[in-house]
Amino acid sequence: MLIDGHGREVNYLRISLTERCNFRCQYCMPEKPFSWVPKENLLSFDELFMFVKVAIDGGVTKIRLTGGEPLIRENLNDFIAMIHNYKPDIDLAMTTNGSLLASVAQDLKYAGLKRLNISLDSLKADVAAKIAGKDVLKSVLEGIDKALAVGFDVKLNMVPLKGINDDEIVDIIDYANNRNMKVRFIEYMENNHASSHIVGMHGKEILTKVKERYEIRALGREGASPSFNYMIDEIGYEFGLIDPHKHDFCENCNRIRLTAEGNLIPCLYFDEAMSIAQAVRVKDIVGATEILAKVLKDKPKENRWSEDELESKEISRRAFYETGG
């Protein structure tokens, strides 16, 4: 079992397979062009898998592949199959923008991927394009349909933004309900890579929008999940709210993150990381295990996003496209 320095069990590893992405979401990517980390700095699937085995042997039971856009990484099925074959009962999931999903969904399922989270910020083509920086809606909706058709358990992620898609919160609930998917609204997490024009919505404001149409009933947090769940009895639909600005959000944090370059990150908010790249490149399993133990020992108690603007003295420098959100 992996226990961090604050006594929390860590059993969830999120792996960012690439920082590259075919979208430029305003809340995630810098506005100005920038250069990517050179491809040769990325860990190969064999190198990533070496760390995956260390993590699974230590007690990790859930792995999520993310990015950047994970579907950009070539031969992804091979990596999924490696993990699945090593531990078939691992809860193996992926977060994707969905745009490249339609043609590969069936293969991902065959390889052993169990669940998908697909980001859907708008059902209007012009709004989706404004957020993502290009015309994306058709391909995303096709990806969702195909994922459902091949039998994936699909959840939707939406980041509500003031004046951009805040009028679509209920529409997204209805869309998800009609297709038997759960939606999770994610509070915009301020970071200095996002567009400076973005204004996020706090959980309370998101709930107010839902309450304009539906009565809701609080259910609570589900185990170590960051999502606080609510029930709409009128339509028998449950949705989630991920609210990292709340003080109790970090109490049950069970996750660590690995970037495509091999940086092991203990907390989404902070810059701190330790690299396992050298260790896995020379197949030093003891070294990788020691780095994992050190990162867990030093895992911060909580993030510094706060409901109170005055308390938020600094802004996170972490790039979501690097850590995978």
- Please report, as ranges, the residues that interact with ligand SF4 according to CB under 6 A: 21, 23-25, 28-29, 67-69, 97, 119, 320-321
Helix (H, G, I), strand (E, B), or coil: what is residue 323?
Answer: helix
User: Counting beta carbons within 10 angstroms of the beta carbon of residue 289, is it exposed (0 to 12), middle (13 to 18) or buried (19 or more)?
Assistant: middle
Q: For residue 200, give the DSSP letter.
A: B
CB closer to ligand SF4, 68 vs 200: 68
Smallest separation (angstroms) from ligand SF4 to the CB of 24: 6
Smallest separation (angstroms) from ligand SAM to the CB of 193: 8
The residues that bridge with 12 in the sheet, in sequence order, are 62, 255
Applying CB under 6 A, which of residues 157, 227, 259, 303 lies at the interface with ligand SAM? 157
Strand order from edge to edge, sheet including 217-221:
217-221, 227-232, 237-242, 182-186, 153-158, 115-119, 91-96, 62-66, 12-16, 255-258, 263-265, 274-275
* Token code pair at residue 246: 């709340």
Q: How far apart, in whole angstroms, are the C-alpha atoms of residue 232 and residue 214?
A: 7
- Please choose which of ligand SAM, ligand SF4, none residue 263 contacts, taking the beta carbon within 5 to 8 angstroms, the exact cut-off set by kind: none
- Please choose which of ligand SAM, ligand SF4, none residue 254 contacts, taking the beta carbon within 5 to 8 angstroms, the exact cut-off set by kind: none
- Binding track over 29-68 against ligand SAM, x by CB under 6 A: -------------------------------------xx-
CB closer to ligand SAM, 50 vs 99: 99
- Please choose which of ligand SF4, ligand SAM, none residue 137 contacts, taking the beta carbon within 5 to 8 angstroms, the exact cut-off set by kind: none
Alpha helices in the chain (DSSP H): 45-58, 76-86, 105-111, 125-132, 137-149, 169-178, 203-211, 277-281, 285-297, 320-323
- Please choose which of ligand SF4, ligand SAM, none residue 29 contacts, taking the beta carbon within 5 to 8 angstroms, the exact cut-off set by kind: ligand SF4
- Distance set, CA 281 to CA 58, 63, 83, 221 (Å): 20, 21, 18, 39
Applying CB under 6 A, which of residues 186, 201, 241, 268 lies at the interface with ligand SAM? 186
Altogether, the residues listed in the chain come to a count of 325
Applying CB under 6 A, which of residues 12, 152, 185, 188 lies at the interface with ligand SAM? 188
CB closer to ligand SAM, 11 vs 95: 95
- Please choose which of ligand SF4, ligand SAM, none residue 122 contacts, taking the beta carbon within 5 to 8 angstroms, the exact cut-off set by kind: none
What single-letter amino acid sits at 283? Answer: K
Q: Give the pairing of strands 91-96 and 115-119.
A: parallel
Which spans of this chain sit near ligand SAM (rule: CB under 6 A)? 21, 27-28, 66-67, 69, 95-97, 119, 157, 159, 186, 188-189, 191, 194, 320-321, 324-325
